[in-house]
Structure 1
Amino acid sequence: MSDILLLGAARSGLSATAQSLVAACGAERVDARGLSPQALPAAAGKIRLLCAGDDAPDIAQLRAAPAWLDALPEARALVVWRSAVDFVNSRLRARPGADFIDHCVLWTRAQRAARDLAERHAGRVLAVEQRRLLAEPQTVAEEMRRFLGAPEFSASAAARTLAAARPGRSAAMMGAAVDNPAQTGWSMAEVELFLSICGAESHPGESAALLRAAESRRPIDLRQALLDRASPQGVRIEPAEARGGAAVVRFPRRSDAASAQPEALRLFSIEAGGRRMARLCLKALEGEGEAQFEIVESLTRKPLCVERLALSGGAELNLARLLPPHGGLIDLTIARAVHDGGGAFAIERASLSTA
């Protein structure tokens, strides 16, 4: 059997594939990264498994692959790939310090290079999706056996190795792959960046729909919305950069004449969609009293959440409430419930999300 060139972006299933090939035909693993075909160690009577995974956006190994196949006319190339969203998610977990854009560029360049390689060397390149390694080990092993054309290749040994549970397997290989950027928790800026770089390869013709889906699941920053467009009645709201952008709400000192006047901060017609998890973090700054936090349906005025929150002595209050099903358009009110004098509190965080 000829040499096997194993290619793909790191965290796409290269290790599992290499282990299955060693088990199937006793191949000798060779780290071929940075080598030239002329610098390869002698085969010593064994099949050489030339491992050349890419871990950087320059995809140096995939770019060199055509020269390898030209220099080794009997060799075959296996390219392992992973769905774009799942790949980027996995890279973010494994390399949190790397730039988001690098993961996107690596995936897109790897996909294009693999396609070009298969077109240039038709019949000598087999692409295998990572999740199939676990979901269909026997089928994948048979495909590799036929592709490599080696009677000594044991498909059953390859399948057993692929199916074996091993530490370090990724979420995708354990059946938890994510393909929709709306389900990732990425920011809208990251979703847009991902689709601009990977979308043509990963979701051809679907980018606009995926953006809409991601937008519909994006958490709403109620704190910023209150600063931008709330309707204050008898209160003031202002940003506090020294507090990390918190919104500071100030209630004036009451007089007898003003005691009947409403003192509230209202945010009308929030397009909540299916978002039902409301979160609020308040910190008392001045004075003591109670604030009422209320969410109602905009059209029916049906109450969805009503909470009284005691504010005193610099205390911080955290509220998380799952709202009942609603029509998608809601109003938010934060009002003074009980207060003896002027006071102030900071809205440190406030959001509405799907979970």
Structure 2
Amino acid sequence: MQSPVLLIAGPARSGLTSLAAAFAAALGMPQRDATAELARVALVADAGQRQARRYAELGLPAPATISPALAQALLDDLLAGAAPGGGQLLRAAEWLPEAAILPALRVVLPHLPQARVVLLHRNGVDTIASRMRARPGMDFVQHCLSWAGAMEAAEALAAACPAQVTLLGLEEVLAHPDAALGRVAAFLGLGMPLRDRLRAELGRGALGRDGLDPAAAGPGLTEIAWSTPEKELFVALCGGAMQIGGYALGDAAARLRRAPLRLAEMTEAGMLRSEGLAASWPDRETLRLNCTGTGPAILVCAGIAPAGRMRLTGRLRGHAAGLALRLDVVGTLSRQMVMSRDFALSGSESADLDVTFSAVPEMIDLVVSVVPPHEAPMGADLCDIRLSLG
């Protein structure tokens, strides 16, 4: 192999571990995870850039972002464990909401002219679904920002260092392995023997064991079991990154805009804050609220983006005699009152809701409050409360 260092990098949960293992076996090279070392490079580079901006503000010539001695120390750290004169394979995954690993490579590659980088990516819907299973503690927005930021950083790195960097889609490897792996082998300055060894190693590794093939792709944005607000967030945050990877959203975005936003779905997905009210979901269309005491009882579904949905409909059903509810819609940022309705619910009596707004802010909060006096376990069912186009 012409280059002594090969880096397999990209968004986390793209298949990096399987691809790196196949390359390491096919090339007979040791491999290790260099995510932490590249993150340190990113921190040092960021500090150097802040220092340069400070010098510029003072009207002084800026020093080098990274001094030669520091650059060598970082490289020694990155390449630790490599055999003298031998090659080494490094892998690194972007996990953070703001890309760090791939920008760090822009700092490193000028110091390693013989190094080559394969940037592996995977359809954003499949990647984020996998990330959510692996890191359930990160919220949906963080996963979306991380994947989109990594894709944008990958595009920038490939444009800045075209002779050292190539992009590779996991779907391309699965659907057309000979063409995809042959292109990578040529990029590395090697011939078809490497392509054939890579294909054999991938078949023996996790990709082969799991039976991943084009037919095993995820359900797609329309069918995946995310809430409608989550799908809309994905389109807003990751739509551009999907284009970078060549992944088509098709008519999914338009279909999402036509779909109603359901209160039960949004609150079950975590878009709620409450005090004095316990929330449960007896079915997909019902949000059940029960008072937990005699103090303030309020629930807020915050940060709803109506996106042209101007009609609020549904039904409210009481659990106890004399329960009174107030339903307010206010602007998330402006706190402008859009609507306020009072409902007196006796026993299992129901009240219908059907309001069409003339205008709404870009983001709204839906607020449900119980009007005193009340006590546990008084409550109400909010049935099929939805925002729709009309």
TM-score, structure 2 length as denominator? Answer: 0.55
Deviation at 1:63, TM superposition (A): 1.3
Change (3 A) 1:122 1:165: closer
SS in 2 for 1:196: helix
The alpha-carbon deviation at position 249 of structure 1 amounts to 8.0
Partner residue in 2 for 1:293: none
Taking structure 1 as the reference length, what is the TM-score of the superposition?
0.60
> What displacement does 1:127 show?
0.8
1:8 alignment partner, SS class: strand
Q: Which residue of 2 aligns with 1:309?
A: none
The answer on 1:212 being equivalent to 2:214 is: no
1:167, distance to aligned residue in structure 2 (A): 7.8
Is structure 2 residue 79 aligned with structure 1 residue 37?
no
Q: 1:132-163, CA deviations, whole angstroms, 9 ceiling, x for partnerless residues?
A: 33333332221121010035962211001223
Correspondence for 1:178: 218
SS in structure 1 of the partner of residue 206 of structure 2 = coil
* Partner amino acid, structure 2, of 1:148: L
1:149 aligns with 2:196: no
Unaligned runs of 5+ in 1: 242-247, 253-263, 269-344
Q: Would you tell me which structure has more strand in proportion to its own residues?
A: 1
Out of 116, 120, 127, the position equivalent to 1:80 is 120
Secondary structure at the aligned position of 2:217 is classed as coil
The match for 2:237 among 172, 197, 213 is 197
CA contact (8 A) 1:28 1:46 kept: no
Q: CA deviation at 1:129?
A: 0.7
Query: Cα–Cα, structure 1 residues 203 and 141, in superposed 2: closer, same or farther, change >3 Å?
Result: closer
Q: Secondary structure at the match of 2:132?
A: helix
Instruction: Decide which of 103, 106, 116 is 1:66's aligned counterpart.
Output: 106
Against the structure 1 CA distance between its residues 48 and 171, is the aligned structure 2 distance closer, same or farther, given a 3 Å change threshold?
same
Per mean C-alpha deviation after superposition, the further-off stretch among 82-91 and 31-40 is: 31-40
Tell which deviates more after alignment, 193-202 or 73-82.
Answer: 193-202
Deviation at residue 91 of structure 1 after TM alignment: 1.0
Residues 194, 152 of structure 1: alpha-carbon distance in 2 compared, 3 angstrom cutoff: closer
Corresponding residue for residue 50 of structure 1: 90
d(CA) in 1 for partners of 2:218 and 2:260? 16
**In structure 1, how many angstroms separate the alpha carbons of the residues matched to 2:212 and 2:318?**
45
Amino acid of the structure 2 residue aligned with 1:132: E
- 5 Å-filtered alignment, 1:193-342, equals 193-203=233-243, 209-214=251-256, 222-223=285-286, 237-238=317-318, 250=347
SS of the residue aligned with 2:137?
A: coil
Q: Aligned letter for 1:18?
A: A
Return the structure number with greater helix share: 2
**Aligned counterparts, 1:10-25, within 5 A:** 10-25=12-27
Matched, 1:160 2:200: yes
SS at match of 2:36: coil
Question: Aligned partner of 1:28: which letter?
Answer: P
Does the CA-based 8 Å contact 1:249-1:346 persist in structure 2? no
State the superposition RMSD in angstroms. 4.1
